[in-house]
Chains A and B, each alone.
Chain A
Amino acid sequence: MSKVDLSIKIGPLELKNPVLLASGTVGYGNEIANFTDLSKIGGIVTKSLSLKPRLGNPPQRITETPSGMLNAIGLANVGVEEFIKTKIPFLKEVNSTLICNIAASSVEEYVECTKILTDEESIKAFEINVSCPNVKEGGLEFGNDLKAVGRITAETKKVTDKPIFIKLSPNVARISEFAKVVYSEGGDAVSAINTLVGTSFNIWTKRPKIKNITGGLSGPAIRPVALAKVLEISRNCPIPIIGIGGILTWQDAIEFMIVGATAFQIGTANFINPNSGLDILKGIEEFCIQTNITKISDLTASYQI
C-alpha cells in the first residue's frame, strides 16, 4: 500500500523500516506488546544481557529531571540461559527483527555471550553495549577505551556471522575516533548514543536522589548532544549509524536521519507512549509523501551544510 519505500539496510541487515526500540526500554517485548503491534516495528533491541543473571542496583534507581530522566538500573537482566529458555519463544512469535544487546564485564564475557546466542536463529544481529565497567582491567568503562572497543569488535566478529553493532558511549571527547575503530575492526554499524552521565541531589537532605549517585541521562534533554555526535561520526567515518537520544516525535526521528542515521531507536519515549514507535513511523511516512521522498534511505546524511 505504502508509496514510500521504508525499508533500510544497516550493513548486511535489512529492516522493513528504520524504527527500532532501544535496549532497556522494551524489556523483552512481552509487556509493551499490550500497547503496540511489534510486528510493524523495524526491530526490537532487547535489554542488555550478561552471561549470568544480574539483580541490578538497589532502589532508588531512577529520577525525573528537566525533559529527561536519570537511571541506574544496574543492568538487571535474566542472563543468557534464561533468555533463551523463556524470552526467545515470545520474541520469535512477534515477527519483528530481533537484535540482541550484550553487556559484559570482560572481553571474554562479551565473546562467550555472542558465541552462545549466535546459534539462536531468531536473533538477527548483536548490539554490544560498551558502557560497562571493565572489571578485569581496572573498572574503567570499555566505552572510554579505544583499544578495548577495538578488541571487543574484533573478538565478537570472530565468533558470529551475524552483524555486530557497537553501541557507543557519548561520555568521550571524540566519538568519531571510536566509530573509526569499530569500522576498521569490521563492525557493521555503531549505535549512538547511550546515556550521558548525570546526577541530581535533594537540596534538603543533601543526598543524591539515586542510590548509585550518578545515573544515565536520557530523554529529550540529550537530543541535541546525540544529534551532534551522530553528525560528527557521519562526517568522519563511513560506518552506518543507528541514531539514539531523546526521540519523542517523528520530527525528531527525521532530524536524526538527516544528520547521518540510517535507522534510529526510541528509548525513554516508550515509557510515556508505549505506541510511540508506530506513531513515529506513520509520521515519517507522511513526511516522505509530503516531500516527495520515495525511499526513506535517501534521507540519511542528507544534511546541507
Chain B
Amino acid sequence: MLIEKSKFISNTSITKNTYLIKVFSPSIAKTAKPGQFCNIKVSENSFPLLRRPFSICDVEGDYLYFMFDVHGEGTRLLRDKNEGEELDIIGPLGIGFDLIGDYDTAIFIAGGLGSAPFPFLSKNIPAMIEIHSFIGGRSKENVIEYKMKNVSAATDDGSYGFQGNVVELFINKLTAYNTKKIRVFACGPNPMLKALQNVCNEKNINCQLSVETVMACGFGICQGCPIEKYNGDGYFLVCKDGPVFNSLAVKI
C-alpha cells in the first residue's frame, strides 16, 4: 500500500447515476488484487475532510478504474473531476477475494453498486472456471451489468428479469448447480449479504462477502471500521482484515 498522486484520465457514465472513472496509477495497479479497495482524497482542501473508499473495479496495465454512484458531496466532487487533474489515492488496501480452492463454477452476486469489484475479479478467475452472475437492483436502471458474464438479473419492481431480490433468484436457481462445485463471491448492501450468508452457511457453500462500513483511515490505525466476529468474540477491522470475509467469519 502506498500513496500515489494519480492522473485523472476520464469519466464515463454507465447508467443514469453511475460513473466509471479511469486514473493513471501504475504503482497501485501493479500490486492490486481483486476485492481490494483504495481510499481516495476527493478534494484538494479539507472539505470534505476524510478520504472516500472505493473498490478497485478494474485494472488495465497502469490504469485503475473505479465505479460509483453520486451519493453525497464526496462522490459529486469525484464525478466533476477533469482530465489531467491529480487525484491522491491510497491503495491497494485490505484483503480481497480468496480465489484459491476447489471449485469449477464461480457465482458472482451483486446488488446495486455491488457490481463494482467484479470486472477485475472476472479477469483473475482461472480460465477453466465458469462464471455465472446474479445481479440485482431496485429497477432496470440500477442493474449494473458492466463487464459481467452470464447474467441473470433481478429487480424489486420487476422491470427487468426476475421480480424480487437477487438472493431469492439465486436460491431458485441453486438446483441447477447440484452437480457443480460452486464458490460464491458477493458484494452489495448488508441485508442482501446477510440473506446470502444464511443460505450459504446452511448449505455449506463457500461464500466470500465484500462488506462496507464507514471508514476514516482505511489502513488500520483508527479502529473506526469494526465488524463483529461470527463467534461474537470481538471485532475484525473491515479495512485491514477485510473488506472481503468468508461468510463463516463475520456477523452482518
Contacts of B228 on A, CB cut-off 8 Å?
A: 58-59
**Nearest B residue (CB) for A73:** B223
- Cβ-based interface call for A35 (8 A): yes
- Cβ-based interface call for A61 (8 A): yes
- Cβ-based interface call for A88 (8 A): no
A271 engages B227 (CB within 8 Å): no
B235 engages A25 (CB within 8 Å): no
Contacts of B66 on A, CB cut-off 8 Å?
A: none
Stretch at the interface among A64-72, A189-197, A234-242: A64-72
Contacts of A27 on B, CB cut-off 8 Å?
A: 220-221, 223
B interface: dominant SS: loop
- Cβ-based interface call for B49 (8 A): yes
Q: How far is the CA of A56 from the CA of B228 in the complex (A)?
A: 11
A267 to chain B, nearest CB (A): 10
B221 engages A62 (CB within 8 Å): no
Contacts of A119 on B, CB cut-off 8 Å?
A: none
Q: How far is the CA of A274 from the CA of B41 in the complex (A)?
A: 12
- Cβ-based interface call for B249 (8 A): no
A25 to chain B, nearest CB (A): 6
- Cβ-based interface call for A270 (8 A): yes
- Cβ-based interface call for B103 (8 A): no
Q: How far is the CA of A69 from the CA of B217 in the complex (A)?
A: 12
Contacts of A68 on B, CB cut-off 8 Å?
A: 49
A interface: dominant SS: loop
In the complex, chain A residues 197-217 whose Cβ is within 8 Å of any chain B Cβ: none
B223 engages A274 (CB within 8 Å): no
- Cβ-based interface call for A275 (8 A): yes
Q: How far is the CA of A71 from the CA of B182 in the complex (A)?
A: 41
Contacts of A268 on B, CB cut-off 8 Å?
A: 49, 216
B220 engages A272 (CB within 8 Å): no
Chain A residues near B (Cβ < 8 Å): 24-27, 31-32, 34-35, 47, 55-56, 58-64, 66-69, 71, 73, 76, 219-220, 248, 268, 270-275
Chain B residues near A (Cβ < 8 Å): 1-3, 41, 46-51, 90, 213-214, 216-228, 234-235, 240
Beyond contacts A274-B219, A275-B3: 16 other A-B pairs, Cβ-Cβ < 8 A, are A26-B221, A27-B220, A56-B235, A61-B223, A61-B224, A61-B225, A62-B214, A63-B214, A67-B46, A73-B222, A76-B226, A220-B46, A270-B217, A271-B218, A272-B50, A274-B90
**12 A–B contact pairs at CB < 8 A?**
A35-B1, A35-B90, A56-B226, A60-B214, A61-B223, A66-B47, A67-B47, A76-B226, A76-B235, A271-B216, A271-B221, A275-B3
